[in-house]
Amino acid sequence: MTPLFSVSQSEITPQSFTVTDESTDIPGTVTQRRLYVQNAYGVYLSGDGTVDYDEWPLANASITKSYLVEDTAANIKTDWLDINDDVVETLNINYPLSEFGKQFFFQLVSAQGLTPGIYQDSNYSGNLAIFWSNIVAGDNAVTYGNSLAAAQNCYNREIQMMQEQAKYF
Amino acid sequence: MPNPTISETITYGRISTYLVGNSNSKGNLFGGRLSAPGSMVSIAMITDALAWGQDSQSSQNVRSMANYLIWLIGMFGQQAQYIASGSGGGSVIPGGGGLTQLNFTVAASGTTLIDGQSSTTLPASWAGLNIVVNKNGQALTQITSAPVYYTWNSITRLLTVVPDAFLGDEFQITAV
């Protein structure tokens, strides 16, 4: 089989992301599928505390999970298993899940329309640029550098700016 | 070492954005860094400007801007060159669940490109997207005078690689 999946993140509810199985030629021996999601600190976001994975029934082409609380550089792994719990195929890819910051950025730019003069404030415009570039940098760290740690460092800076938005914006 | 191509420079710019950002945030315990930090904001902006202008502006202007970016990223460019030689991670498309990345090893049959094949039409979900293509861990250029390159038509979704795909080649196609 050729294992493959894609990941999308909701713009409206950024805590939710969807993994879609795009694999081809799945053999008949595969009877179950499991999803693992791990953050840059090695902590499993998936699972229930007893196991590290979420069961992903084969009947469902996609699975949506809603356990993100902030921008997260995540390693997402899918295992395809046989009836004996032996892994037939596995695939893991790092993903930049940064929709919290992107939506906040959109709201900031939208709010400029209410107070157009604010862009003349160099602190505001400078911080806005730094905020934006940290999101871009985090995404690049995963997509080009494949580094969860480097990406989460970038995200943590923009998360802190979001948390202390009264100070920066 | 020859100058990086425009595509390579854009990749180095994207990687340097986070390298510079993370480097600048170090050193807080004993004060700020002593060397003048580069600006991740400038690098991010100029990288995008170069990416957006590479197919529309004169080659002289594009080369000038690429040289400016190479100067701006400085020593981080060398680190970026090393990182770019590895394989990247995935990318996420907000909202709908379209394909964002294809990873495959060329086989005799059943893969996006099969042994000896030079072109393929990607699925409909790739329409309108820009892509980057890595082959065996190396980012490919779109400059057709290069010995190894790819062309991509985002309307017809036709991807062409030169030379032909060969058995065992590892491809990674990412929407950007």
Predicted confidence (pLDDT) per residue in B114-158, tens digit: 999 999 998 877 777 778 888 887 778 888 888 888 999 888 889
Q: Other CB atoms closer than 10 Å to residue A92's CB: what's the count?
A: 15
- CB distance A133–B17 less than 8 Å? yes
> Which A-chain residues 102-161 have CB contacts (< 8 A) with chain B?
102, 129-130, 132-134, 136-147, 150-151, 153-154, 157
Q: pLDDT per residue over A42-64, tens digit each? A: 999 999 989 999 999 999 999 99
pLDDT at position B99 over 60:
no
Per-domain residue ranges for chain B?
6-85, 101-175
pLDDT at position B98 over 50:
no
pLDDT at position B36 over 60:
no
The rounded distance, in Å, linking the Cα atoms of B61 and B40 is 22
Q: Is A100 an 8 Å CB contact of chain B? A: no
> Which A-chain residues 29-58 have CB contacts (< 8 A) with chain B?
none
Per-domain residue ranges for chain A?
5-97, 99-168
Give the pLDDT band of residue B70 (cuts 50, 70, 90). very high
pLDDT at position B1 over 70:
no
Cα distances (Å, whole numbers) of residue B142 to A144, B78, B149: 17, 22, 5
Cα distances (Å, whole numbers) of residue B2 to B5, B63, B73, B116, B152: 9, 13, 17, 30, 25
Please indicate, yes or no, whether the overall pTM of this predicted structure exceeds 0.80: no
A120 DSSP 8-state letter? G
What pLDDT, on a 0 to 100 scale, did the predictor assign at position B94? Answer: 65
Residues of chain B with Cβ-Cβ distance to A10 below 8 Å are 94-95
- Determine which of B11, B12, B18 to mutate to test the interface with A (most A C-beta atoms within 10 Å): B18
Q: Is B89 an 8 Å CB contact of chain A? A: yes
What pLDDT, on a 0 to 100 scale, did the predictor assign at position A39? Answer: 94
Alpha helices in chain A, H assignment, sequence order: 99-112, 122-143, 148-163, 165-168
User: Between B172 and B87, where is the model more confident?
Assistant: B172
What pLDDT, on a 0 to 100 scale, did the predictor assign at position B28? Answer: 61
Q: Is A68 an 8 Å CB contact of chain B? A: no
Residues of chain A with Cβ-Cβ distance to B90 below 8 Å are 6-7, 76, 93-96, 142-143
Q: Which helix (H) or strand (E) holds B12?
A: helix B6-24
What pLDDT, on a 0 to 100 scale, did the predictor assign at position A90? Answer: 94
CB B174 within 8 A of CB B98: no
pLDDT at position B84 over 90:
no
Give the pLDDT band of residue B31 (cuts 50, 70, 90). low
What pLDDT, on a 0 to 100 scale, did the predictor assign at position B34? Answer: 54
Q: pLDDT per residue over A79-90, tens digit each? A: 999 999 999 999
The rounded distance, in Å, linking the Cα atoms of A164 and A121 is 18
Find the mean pLDDT for residues B91-107.
68
Find the mean pLDDT for residues B42-70.
88
**Identity at B87, one-letter amino acid code:** S
Phi, psi of B29 (to 5 degrees): -60, -45
Q: Which CATH architecture has domain A5-97?
A: Sandwich (2.60)
A13/chain B closest Cα distance in angstroms: 10
- CB distance A11–B94 less than 8 Å? yes
Q: Is A22 an 8 Å CB contact of chain B? A: yes
Instruction: Provide the edge-to-edge strand list for the sheet that holds A5-9.
Output: A62-65, A17-21, A5-9, B93-94
What pLDDT, on a 0 to 100 scale, did the predictor assign at position B96? Answer: 43
* Ranges of chain A with pLDDT below 70: none
Write down the ipTM of this complex. Answer: 0.72
- CB distance A144–B83 less than 8 Å? yes
